[in-house]
Structures are given as C-alpha cells and as structure tokens.
Structure 1
C-alpha cells in the first residue's frame, strides 16, 4: 500500500510542478488575464478537439466503443444522485440563496478536462483517455443543463432547464471533436498520416497549457478570499468523499472494465469546474465563492488523489 501511495505521488508531482510554473509565471507577470484567456481558447477550440479525434481513432473501433458506451450509466447515475443530495444539503445547512446554485453545481460536477485529463494521463497513461471522455460527455451535459439552471436561480432571473443556448454550449468544440472521431471509426475511415500527426502534436498542447492555466487561476485568487466555512467544507465533502464513494458503490452493481472503473473514481474526485465561476459571474451569483471553491479543491486534489489511488 505504501508503494502504491508513493507511485501515485510520483505520478501527481509532474502535475504539481506544471501548476507551480503557471503560478510563478502569473506572479512575475508572464501570464496575465489576456494570456490566460488565450490559453483557454487554444485548449477548448484547437488542442482538445484535435486530441479527441486522434485518441478516439487510435483507441477505439466500432465494436469496442459500443461495448464500453454502456459504462456512461455510472457517471450519469452518480451525478444525478449527487445533484439530489446537494439540494437536500443546501436546505438542511441553510446555504444562502445567492450561492445555493453554485454550491449544488460544485457538489455534483467535476473538472474532468483541465484537471481530470492530465491527472488520468499521469496515473494511467493514454489508454485512460477514452474513459475520461465518456465521463466528460455526461459531466458537460449535466453542467450546461442542471448546473446552469441552478446557478441562474441565484441571480436575477432563471434560465429554462432545457434551452437552445444551453444545447449550443453542450456542443463544445471538444465534444464535436469526440463526435468526429466516433464518425470516423463507425465509417471505418482512416485519415492521412500527416493529418493524424498534426492532430497528435496539437493535442499534446492540452495538458501543459491546462496546468499552466490552473496555476494562473490559483494566483488570481487573493489570500483574503481563502476562508474555510461550512459551505466550503460541504463542497470538499461532495467532491472528495461522497462522489467517489458513490461511484465505488455503483461499480458493485454495474460491472465495467477495471481501468474504466478506476478512471471513473478518479474523475468523480476532481476539483470544482472552472466554468462555474464564469457562469456565476454572468448570472449575478456568488462568483467569489465559486472561484474559492475551485481553488481550494484544486489544491486539496494534490493530497486526495494519491490517497484514493492507494485505496483503489
């Protein structure tokens, strides 16, 4: 067990180093708001879609994908149950109305790409990426429907649970890259080598840029905002205890390949999504609470993930 913990720590340390590089770069002014925004645009619109296409076409064929697709039931059920529990906890512990939706969304949604992808790559290698993407599809869909609906209720006006704008946001370039990859394997189409090499090279930008961006986000949150209260403790409970434990329980009833099971547990224990802060600010919700929840769970993740790896 001690050896497993050390191996997990060794896998996480490169992630920590790159986050620290991002933090230090922001501190000395090399990464500012403009560059941070450029990083997110490059990741979400270029590198991640390319990585999706390259990895899906290299990891799957039609039969293998259909066999594994049923595994999406686990993240779907776990997040829906987490959503219901978050509603009950927000009422029981009297979470203030102006941040109730942020709390609920932070409780059941996780950062599956910016943090989840690089950590799973560090722990399990590129074979884990298809399972990361399966979890990502469910997480993204529920965030842009249930999550945005809850956050909007904190502000001036609530948006419809299912609307054209939310459907457009679900159809991100990353998800479209995933769909293109699926179309290619279902049609049995092989792209030219130069195209695949280009997708691979651009896709390799995803992890370092994402980790540098996390370091920038951590630096941008002032120390005066780092206050641990019951609301934050409940978010930490949801992210690092309730969610992975729930996935672990579901795995006893829904059997999936061993690597998929491990990836789903790790994905369920990822930090709060960075998008929550952006959406909260747009709808007049408590975006500072969202930003702090993102920061504190990102820091805690470095300690929690080696512990979870040891247990599983």
Structure 2
C-alpha cells in the first residue's frame, strides 16, 4: 500500500523537483504572466471542467463548500487563541496557519491519490480556500478589505458559474467540455513547476527561533487534519469529497501566504521557513491518511 502511495505521488515530486532545477538554472518560470495564465485561464477551466463532469449536483457542491468554509472557520478560531497565547502577531500568522496549500500542491496530491472523482472536489475546496486567502488573509494583513475584489477573481467566478449551471441543469455541448478540459489540463503541471521555482528562491534567513517555527510547521497540517476529521463526521460528504477535504487540510503553509506577507511587510522570512518546514510534515500526514483509508 505504501508503495502504491509513493508511486502515485512520484509525478508530483518529479515535476516539483524539475521546477526547482528550472528555477535555479533558467529564467523560464520568471515571467509573472505564467502565474496569471494559470490563475485566470487554467484553474478556472479546470474548475468548470471538473465540476461539470463530476457526479455532483448543486446541493452536493454547496455542501462541500459549506464543509470547507466551516473547517476554515473552526481552524481560524483555534489559531486565533493559539497566537494570542503565544504572543505572536495574529495579523500576519493567522492566514498562513489557517489556509493550506490547497492549490498548487493540494490539487495534484488529491488527483494522484483519488483520481478524477477527487479532482472535482479538490478544485472546489481550493476555490473556497482561495476566497479565504483574499478575505481573511488580505483583510488581516492590510487592515482594510473590500469584498468587491472577489468579483475580479476568476476561479471564484468560475465556481459561481459552475454552481449556476448545476442549479439550472443547463446541458453543455461535448466540444465545450473538451475545450475546458484541454485548457484546464495545463494547470497541474504548471502549478507544480511554479511551486518548485518558488521553493528554489526562498530564503530561510537567520533562524534563532527554530523551536517556535517547527511547532508552527507541525501545527498547520496536524490541526488542519484534526479539524477536517471532525467536519466530515458532521457533513454528509461523498467518500471522494471527504478524502479530498482531509488531504487538502493536511497541506503545508501556502506559497500565496508568503506573497501576501511580503506585500504587506510582514515576517516574510518566518513564513518562507514555515513553507519549507511544514511540507515534510504534510507528507507524513498524507501518508498516514492514505494508510488509514486504504
């Protein structure tokens, strides 16, 4: 079983490693338009394609979104208390510890371990997490948030469109689904390459507070998983949806947290370290979950 798990994840490891090499040796992945292409074209198409092909009605999709939002809310409350007790700035740490890397690592991991059924749920969960990044994250770090910013977020808009299509029961031509699938297929490999490139450029800085950083790195995947375990007992999720929520809740600190922390002049070296340190912890959690459900 462990061998099957490792074989399933090998493409994730290999493409990420390739991204690290490319990021260090070339400038192929330096163009910011590449990330925008994934965010504004690839991910929305992947989301729509997966949602429209999956065996999930609008009610099931809304239940999954509600379960994800509930998991993030519970985790935010717990994290708020922990940060207060630890006397750490809630403003900069809460989003990083609450919002997992459900996108460029979570989606490929779920796809590798749960296939097409899990992929559909994964992109829905990732979209809800992305909303959290641009509400909880931006709101906390900037001290000022305008909800209309979500109207310019393409994955969020795609999620709304997909939900409306499911509600109306609108038939989608085969050629349209094939087009969405082809455009969406570029998303996962590019996301992994960009993840590798980001990891290759992270600076760990002066680490005189390893104990605190390691504790927070363990906290993110561990508490995220425990909260998700409780949530799937409450919400009536399909097995593939429950597995996707568990796996993505066990993901490490998201790269976008580093980007937002840098933008708002926060402790970017700490967040960069948490990304690196929480990743092996996440892999251990994913392995345990995989062994638990198989």
Alpha-carbon deviation of 1:225?
A: 5.7
Q: Any idea what SS the aligned residue of 1:33 has?
A: coil
CA contact (8 A) 1:132 1:267 kept: yes
Residue in structure 2 matching 1:111, options 78, 97, 101: 101
1:272-291 CA-to-partner distances (Å, cap 9, x unmatched) read: 12221222122221222222
Q: 1:20: which partner in 2? A: 17
Q: TM-score with structure 1 length normalisation?
A: 0.85
Alpha-carbon deviation of 1:294?
A: 2.2
**Residues 156-195 of structure 1 aligned to structure 2 (within 5 Å):** 158-159=143-144, 163-164=145-146, 166-169=147-150, 171-195=152-176
Aligned-partner Cα distance in 2 for 1:222–1:67:
42
1:88-126 CA-to-partner distances (Å, cap 9, x unmatched) read: 21122222x4xx423211211111111111111100011
Aligned-partner Cα distance in 1 for 2:13–2:208:
22
Q: 1:8: which partner in 2? A: 5
Distance change in 2, residues 1:237/1:301 (3 Å): closer
Aligned-partner Cα distance in 2 for 1:255–1:141:
23
The worse-fitting range, judged by mean Cα deviation, of 260-269 and 233-242 is 233-242
User: Is 2:133 the partner of 1:146?
Assistant: no
CA contact (8 A) 1:12 1:306 kept: no
Aligned-partner Cα distance in 2 for 1:250–1:185:
24
The worse-fitting range, judged by mean Cα deviation, of 218-227 and 287-296 is 218-227
User: Is 2:232 the partner of 1:233?
Assistant: no
Q: TM-score with structure 2 length normalisation?
A: 0.90
The worse-fitting range, judged by mean Cα deviation, of 22-31 and 112-121 is 22-31
User: Is 2:20 the partner of 1:39?
Assistant: no
Number of residue-to-residue matches in the alignment? 293
Q: 2:43: which partner in 1? A: 48
The worse-fitting range, judged by mean Cα deviation, of 81-90 and 204-213 is 81-90
Aligned-partner Cα distance in 2 for 1:279–1:222:
16
1:210-238 CA-to-partner distances (Å, cap 9, x unmatched) read: 00001101100135467772332233233
Q: 2:112: which partner in 1? A: 122
Q: Any idea what SS the aligned residue of 1:200 has?
A: helix
Aligned-partner Cα distance in 1 for 2:192–2:127:
21
Alpha-carbon deviation of 1:66?
A: 1.2
**Residues 212-291 of structure 1 aligned to structure 2 (within 5 Å):** 212-222=193-203, 224=205, 229-291=210-272
| Structure 1 gap ranges (5+) | 153-157
Structure 1 stretches of 4+ moved >6 Å: none
User: Is 2:79 the partner of 1:90?
Assistant: no
CA contact (8 A) 1:111 1:273 kept: yes
| Structure 2 gap ranges (5+) | none
CA contact (8 A) 1:232 1:293 kept: yes
The worse-fitting range, judged by mean Cα deviation, of 141-150 and 112-121 is 141-150
